[in-house]
């Protein structure tokens, strides 16, 4: 344990074990009672757990070292999780604004809507539509109930883009899982988490400085080198994620303006959160993906069936050629026989 604490070495004692030891360490009051017992010269020796706690307390700055050690691991996991959430919402917003494939899908929806409302001078000449329409596309069915409007949109997109895109191309709408993740982001919570990490980072630096200034010289390294390196990198990461958060908020607001999103219920535009915008896309993207995959499988099966048919036709041609060849040889043999007899 002492070696692990001094050298940041978890090869013999795991970080999980060190964390458990840290959590059960004796308090100052408990240590005072144990030391008084030993100093009293009592005939009753300390039990092994009590001896262990005493020996643990003899490791200089054990609590501070382990706290720094654990924070280093926790910080890495926390900052990575925050970065993943922010990068997802940023890339999802970018997709919604710049994807040519999505623009094509939305164009098909608008064209079909205008066609279906062709008899209405106001509704049949629309330049756009509200996002609430997306979830309703699967509820509109053909006269014979054989196909939904959303299914027809998927088929229309595939025909427009060709078989290669239809069978090998990427999903033209956002991944449903990306939309779900983006919906769960709350910028206020992200900022609170970042501020919490900043506070913990400062606390870790204080603990590090305590260990360095109050430890014997032979016990300073490699703690000093590793912690200074970690703190330097952590501060840089934290600053990057603070900026990333601000960039994501700007990107999200730009996306709202791009789609001319109008919040309901008297909500102000600056109050709109991801949970108010992305759920409009959730059912549409999920249903679109299911139909997209089904159509891909259908096209692939048709292509395989067509290829097998052509292969069978080639086999029939070859067989017919062989039969014709055998017939010609037979006729030649008969002719040769008659000539020989003559």
Using CB atoms within 10 Å of the CB of residue 81, give its burial: 0 to 12 exposed, 13 to 18 middle, 19+ buried: exposed
Predicted confidence (pLDDT) per residue in 79-102, tens digit: 999 999 999 999 999 999 999 999
First to last CA, the chain: 113
What is the Cα–Cα distance from 209 to 230, expressed in whole angstroms? 14
CA 238 → CA 78, 79, 150, 165, 250, distances in Å? 10, 7, 44, 41, 19
What residues in the chain have per-residue pLDDT under 50? none
Query: What's residue 126's pLDDT?
Result: 74
Number of H helices, E strands in the chain: 13, 0
Predicted confidence (pLDDT) per residue in 215-267, tens digit: 888 889 889 999 999 999 999 999 999 999 999 999 999 999 999 998 887 78
Architecture of the CATH domain 1-86+181-272: Up-down Bundle (1.20)
Query: What's residue 182's pLDDT?
Result: 98
**What pTM does this model have?**
0.81
Q: What is the residue-averaged pLDDT of the chain?
A: 88
Structure tokens given for 76: 């890495």
Q: 148: which strand partners? A: 141
Query: What's residue 335's pLDDT?
Result: 65
């Amino acid at each position: 344990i002492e070696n692990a604490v001094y050298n940041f070495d978890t090869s013999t004692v795991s970080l999980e074990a060190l964390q458990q030891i840290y959590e059960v360490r004796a308090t100052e009051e408990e240590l005072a009672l144990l030391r008084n017992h030993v100093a009293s010269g009592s005939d009753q020796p300390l039990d092994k757990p009590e001896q262990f706690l005493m020996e643990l307390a003899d490791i200089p700055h054990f609590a501070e070292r382990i706290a720094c050690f654990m924070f280093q691991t926790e910080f890495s996991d926390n900052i990575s999780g925050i970065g993943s959430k922010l990068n997802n919402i940023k890339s999802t917003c970018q997709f919604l604004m710049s994807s040519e494939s999505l623009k094509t899908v939305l164009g098909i929806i608008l064209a079909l809507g205008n066609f279906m409302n062709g008899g209405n001078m106001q509704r049949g000449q629309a330049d756009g539509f509200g996002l609430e329409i997306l979830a309703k596309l699967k509820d509109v069915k053909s006269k014979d109930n054989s196909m939904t409007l959303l299914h027809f949109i998927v088929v229309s997109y595939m025909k427009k883009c060709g078989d290669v895109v239809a069978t090998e191309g990427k999903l033209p709408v956002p991944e449903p899982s990306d939309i779900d993740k983006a919906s769960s982001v709350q910028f206020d919570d992200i900022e609170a988490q970042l501020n919490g990490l900043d506070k913990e980072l400062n606390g870790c630096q204080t603990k590090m400085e305590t260990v360095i200034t109050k430890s014997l010289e032979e016990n300073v390294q490699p703690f000093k080198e590793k912690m200074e390196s970690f703190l330097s990198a952590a501060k840089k990461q934290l600053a990057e994620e603070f900026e990333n958060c601000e960039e994501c908020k700007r990107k999200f607001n730009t996306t709202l303006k791009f789609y001319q999103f109008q919040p309901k219920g008297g909500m102000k535009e600056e109050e709109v959160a991801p949970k108010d915008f992305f759920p409009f896309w959730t059912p549409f993207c999920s249903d679109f993906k299911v139909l997209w995959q089904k159509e891909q499988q259908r096209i692939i099966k048709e292509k395989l069936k067509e290829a097998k048919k052509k292969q069978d036709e080639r086999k029939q041609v070859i067989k017919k050629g062989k039969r014709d060849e055998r017939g010609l040889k037979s006729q030649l043999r008969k002719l040769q026989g008659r000539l020989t007899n003559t």
